[in-house]
Amino acid sequence: MGVYSKLLLYTVSLSLILVLVYTVYFIKYNDVLQQLTGPATTVKVSLGLQTQDQLTINQDTQQQPLLTTNGYISYQPPGNGWNNQRIVIEMALLFAKILNRTLIVHPISSHSLGEKMERELPPNNRFGYITYNKMAASTLMPLSNVLDLKLMSKLVPVTEINSSHSQFIQNYFSQDTKWRHICHSLGYGYWLDRRPLNQAEVGLLTKQIYTSRKDWRDKCKEEQAEFVLQHEKPIIRYVSDLANDSSDVIYFIEGCLFGIELRFMEYRKALQAREWIKEYVHYKSTYHQLADAVRTKLGSYNALHVRRIKHISGSLTAGHWILEMLNNDFTRDTPIYVATDETNLKWFEPLTEAGFKLYFASNFTDFIDLSHVHKRMRKDVMGMYEQIVCIRAELFLPSPHSTFSNYIMRERGETDSKNGFNYILHHASWAGDNI
């Protein structure tokens, strides 16, 4: 046998051995993967530029493997109220879509439990995200119990975590993964989707209006020196700079996605980002039960959101609400549903004495069963039901500066608008409207 023939035979034999080894490894790898991930639901999903026909939403409540070619986006939940947590989820969704990464979502926490735990912390360390990290999994609610994650996963791949956040960090850090921690605070600047491409865009950038929020400077303190060096001009971070990041996980720390702005250089992209949020972030259909019951019992109705506890609008008097109703075409013969955190309903007696017919959640307890919800979460969950009630009302009056009211107004389309934008969705805006 010639040298060439021997070389050919050796090459073929080696190839067969490699194929056999790879096949055995692949089978074992898939067995391990199945053990790690557990049962899963598969749905169709569109990823825009990249093609991926299947998405797995993992139902595991403990540890999930990081196995994706595009990497992950995740975030430190901010704690505090549900609507603050929702805004962070919406921001993370935009980053995941722009960067074509899988979004890791986390359970939501109880507002009242967070406030109770904050009071036990030193005054200079009372942050919602710190109390969130101290909460046990049993006191948290899976996000899939609230939002329609199958709908969300039609925009980006979604992986749900149901463990406590400390357990999530422990499990994922224990794997051989590369993380990038990012902290950018409204106290020091904002995000822009990309760098300017021409002089006109550079000019637009130099005209941006930015009002520094000093009350937000207790987060991302490492930005303080940079902010001072820039003579307190805004620090601009660019999402596009993360496009080629090789980290397995891009992780926003300290709850910093709450309050921060994401501005877009192009009008059409800003509008598209807002449409993504409006189209793919929705309550599960079960949250319409209370609204259905209110409509059945009351027929046509109006609604108020009266925020009273630990909020700037808590100083508003009953007389203020009477005047607001009269000025906004609320009639005395139309029932009014009142969504409120005020537990002493006698506070509303001046409104009923003025002739308005008021109804509260307590009038509809027969229609909603919250016995399966952790007692610490029941008030939060009831608020979610009430948002849908207010959204479906004929007329609605909000509490000023409330993210609860802002969501209702956004969904009703009743906010100040310019260039086709709904300005309650302030965390995604067009740079052209910030000059």
Q: Can you read off the two tokens belonging to residue 181? A: 């921690």
Model confidence at 11: pLDDT above 70: no
Cβ–Cβ under 8 Å, residues 220 and 150: no
For 333-388, the DSSP string reads TS-EEEEE--S-GGGGHHHHHTT--EE-GGGGGGG---TTS-TTTHHHHHHHHHHH
Cβ–Cβ under 8 Å, residues 78 and 85: yes
What does the alpha-carbon distance between residue 147 and residue 151 come to, in Å, rounded to a whole number?
9
Give every CB contact of residue 114 below 8 A, 6+ residues apart in sequence. 79, 80, 128, 131, 132, 135
49 against 434, higher pLDDT: 434
Model confidence at 67: pLDDT above 60: no
Residue type at position 356: F
The verdict on pTM exceeding 0.75 is: yes
Residue 32: what pLDDT? 28
Split at pLDDT 50, 70, 90, the class of 421 is: very low
Quickly count helices (H) and strands (E) in the chain. Answer: 14, 17
Cβ–Cβ under 8 Å, residues 278 and 391: no
The predicted model gives 385-404 an average pLDDT of 93
The predicted model gives 362-368 an average pLDDT of 87
Q: How far is CA 341 from the centre of its chain?
A: 22
Cβ–Cβ under 8 Å, residues 370 and 381: yes
pLDDT in tens, 112-126: 898 888 888 888 788
What does the alpha-carbon distance between residue 115 and residue 376 come to, in Å, rounded to a whole number?
11
Residue 50: what pLDDT? 25
Q: How many residues are present in the chain?
A: 435
Q: What's the mean per-residue pLDDT of the chain? A: 82
pLDDT in tens, 304-347: 999 998 787 778 999 999 999 999 999 999 999 999 999 999 99
Rounded to 5 degrees, what are φ and ψ at 240? -60, -25
DSSP code of 240? G
Cβ–Cβ under 8 Å, residues 40 and 59: yes
pLDDT in tens, 149-203: 999 999 999 999 999 999 998 888 767 889 999 999 989 999 999 999 999 999 9
Q: Can you read off the two tokens belonging to residue 101? A: 């990464």
Model confidence at 425: pLDDT above 90: no
3-class DSSP state for residue 419?
coil
3-class DSSP state for residue 332?
coil
Tokens 């740079």, residue? 431
